[in-house]
Amino acid sequence: MAYEIKTVNTIRERKFSPAPRPEMWKDATDKDWNNWIWQQQKRIKTIEQLEKLIHVTPGEREAFAKSHEMFNMAITPYYAALMDPDDPKCPIRQQSVPSPEELFIAPEDLEDPLGEEKDMPVPGVTHRYPDRVLFYTTHNCAMYCRHCTRKRKVADPDSATNAKMLEDGLAYIERTKSIRDVVISGGDALSNSDDRIEYILSRLRAMDHIEVFRIGTRNLVTLPQRITDDFCKMLKKYQPVFIHTHFNHPKECTQEAFDACAKLADAGCMINNQMVLLKGINDDAKIVMELNHKLLMMRVRPYYMFQGDLAQGVSHFRTPISKGLEIIKALRGWTSGMAVPHYVVDAPGGGGKIPLVPNYVVSHDDRKWVFKNYKGIEYTYFEPDED
């Protein structure tokens, strides 16, 4: 029997749209626009540049002036193109442009909210968990997210990882045989050059006790042009490589982001997303479900949904923990388990990630457990009789 194969548009064409090209860069060639170096060189860093893109509010203008020395603004043309020029509450704009709320430092805010410095056996390596470390390799990012948990380091030239720090970090990892997993982070790990990244990966892969490494980057979201064919070809030599990225809203899921993820997946990388729960941006179950469905189509696993850290100047982004539990409850059972991330609080002061789940247990009496499912219907389960 002959089967008729129908020609259909791909998922990419049906579900994802390219980023618009703002008038400000109408004369840029496609070659420039798609070049990650050009994108970094043309980042929006001044209020005058910003005014050519959006209608800047008085509050945004004041926030820029008062926050600039503490935490720079830098937005790639690609990511800036996703902003709504007329809506200060645009989810992309809120993550990019300073707001008056970030000038407020809440009493509970911490300069080092996750206690990373206290668990550093050598500068640049945080060793908190038994078998894995975070390796701080750069202080740079393509874009400076306003909800950043590492404001103390990002955009601070004094925090740059020099050659000695890099070598001392690699030496510590090499001599500490209990380590099997290395998170290569920053800043943004992909702010490093291809040569520097390959040097780090080659050194780690040469260590017998290192089984996997993870590259932490938001470039898939803010600078997908960074994912070049040459970069992906290099990664193939060092598999398994895990990529941990940070999509927060469906608007960030463009054709360009889709293509960047496809290149990495085709190169053998496993991509995980670490969404941060942000008030007014993604604190809605419908938005999170839409985001996670798009991520799965992009071959990205929704891995974590983080409760906002107690970083300085980001209290306006934090939601009640009850909101996160509400979102997980609205996902569990109503969509596939693949689209339900782990909801975690990264405990202040260095306590590590603590998972939070809604309570589905109604009662427990000896061998008898009573549960309710996602629809609220009760079911009884009996444990085996151990006598």
Query: So which residues are the catalytic ones?
Result: 128-129, 132, 141, 145, 148, 150, 309, 346, 353
The three-state DSSP-derived secondary structure of 212-281 is: EEEEECCHHHHCHHHCCHHHHHHHHHHCCEEEEECCCCHHHCCHHHHHHHHHHHHCCCEEEEEEECCCCC
Residues 6+ apart with CB under 8 A from 146: 71, 94, 95, 96, 97, 98, 99, 102, 314, 317
Q: How many CB atoms lie within 10 A of CB 354?
A: 11
Length of the chain: 387
**How deeply is 107 buried, as exposed, middle or buried, from its count of CB atoms within 10 A (0-12, 13-18, 19+)?**
exposed
- Bridge partners of 136, per DSSP, are 185
Exposed, middle or buried by CB within 10 Å (0-12, 13-18, 19+), for 141? buried
Note whether 136 and 161 are within 8 A (CB): yes
Nearest CA to 98 out of 386, 317, 376 is that of 317
Long-range interactions of 350-358: CB distance < 8 A, separation 24+: 350/114, 350/115, 350/116, 350/118, 350/119, 350/128, 351/115, 352/128, 352/129, 353/304, 356/307, 356/321, 356/324, 356/325, 356/328, 357/325, 357/328, 358/325, 358/328, 358/329, 358/332
- Measure the CA dihedral 189/195/200/203, to 10°: 170
Which residue carries 């992909």 as its tokens?
Answer: 190
Render the burial of 36-67: b for 16+ CB within 10 Å, e for the rest.
bebbbebbbeebebbeebbebeeebeebbeeb
